[in-house]
Copies of this chain bind each other. A is one copy, B any other.
C-alpha cells in the first residue's frame, strides 16, 4: 500500500507495535510503552509521531486520556485483530435445519445461545431482526448449489420478487427447496442455481415462500 510506505520508519514501527500490543493485551499501550518499544526515549517525540499518524488516518486519539489510542486502518502484514473494522459481527439466530421433506420450521422462542455470528455485510442491508439461519440437511439442494452442512442466511418473508433465491414449500410435492423465483403470471417458475438443470413450474397457490436467501456459507473440514 502506497500510503503506508509514505510513513517514516518510526511511524511504521509504532503501528506495528500498536498492533502487536493490542492483540496481546487487549488495550492500547502508553506513550512510554511505545517509546520503549521503538527506541524513542522522548515522550514528546512519540506524541509528535502519534499525531502524524492521526493525520495520516491510521490512528484515532482521545486527548488527555491514558491509552486513548486506537488503530483505525489495517496495516500490512499485521494481525489487525483489534483494528476497528468497518464491518460488525451480528448474532443471527440459528433456528434449525432445512430438509427437503419438511417445511422450514421457525421457532418462536429463540435461544440466544443458539446463534451464528455473521458479518453484517452478508445481510445485504436487511434488518437483522428479521434474519435467521438454517443448516442444510440432505443432498437435495444440490441443484441450488448448496450441499449438506451449508449455513443459509435467510430473511423472513412470505413474498418474493423475480430473481430472488427463496426457500419455498411445495405442498404438492411435499418438499422444501431453494430456487430462484420467477412469477410468470399464470404460474411460478422455480429455477435451480445450477444452469445444467431445468426449472420446475408450480401454481402460486402451491408455492409458499418461507424466506429469501441472503447468503450461503460453507465451512470445509
Distance A128 CA – B80 CA, assembled complex (angstroms)? 10
Assess the A193–B147 pair: CB atoms within 8 A. Answer: yes
Which B residues touch A83, using CB under 8 A?
Answer: 91
A40 at the interface (CB under 8 A from B): no
Q: How many copies of the polypeptide does the oligomer hold?
A: 2
Within 8 A of B (CB), among A76-133: 76-77, 79-91, 109-113, 115, 117-119, 121-122, 124, 128-129
Assess the A142–B142 pair: CB atoms within 8 A. Answer: no
Assess the B218–A113 pair: CB atoms within 8 A. Answer: no
Which B residues touch A28, using CB under 8 A?
Answer: 26-27
A74 at the interface (CB under 8 A from B): yes
Chain B CB count within 10 A is highest, among A27, A80, A91, A115, for A27
8 Å CB contact of A196 from B67, B81, B142, B214: B142
Assess the B118–A119 pair: CB atoms within 8 A. Answer: yes
What number of A residues sit within 8 Å (CB to CB) of B?
Answer: 69
Assess the B213–A216 pair: CB atoms within 8 A. Answer: no
Distance A65 CA – B90 CA, assembled complex (angstroms)? 27
Distance A83 CA – B87 CA, assembled complex (angstroms)? 14
What are 14 A-B interface contacts by the 8 Å CB criterion? A26-B71, A66-B66, A73-B112, A77-B112, A77-B129, A81-B88, A118-B119, A142-B195, A145-B146, A163-B221, A164-B220, A212-B220, A214-B220, A215-B217
Known contacts A27-B28, A70-B27, A142-B145; A117 and B219 CB within 8 A of each other: no
Assess the B117–A121 pair: CB atoms within 8 A. Answer: yes
Known contacts A83-B91, A91-B83, A147-B145; A76 and B110 CB within 8 A of each other: yes
If A27-B68, A80-B91 are given as contacts, then 4 extra A-B residue pairs at C-beta distance below 8 Å, sorted by A number, are: A25-B62, A26-B60, A212-B220, A215-B217
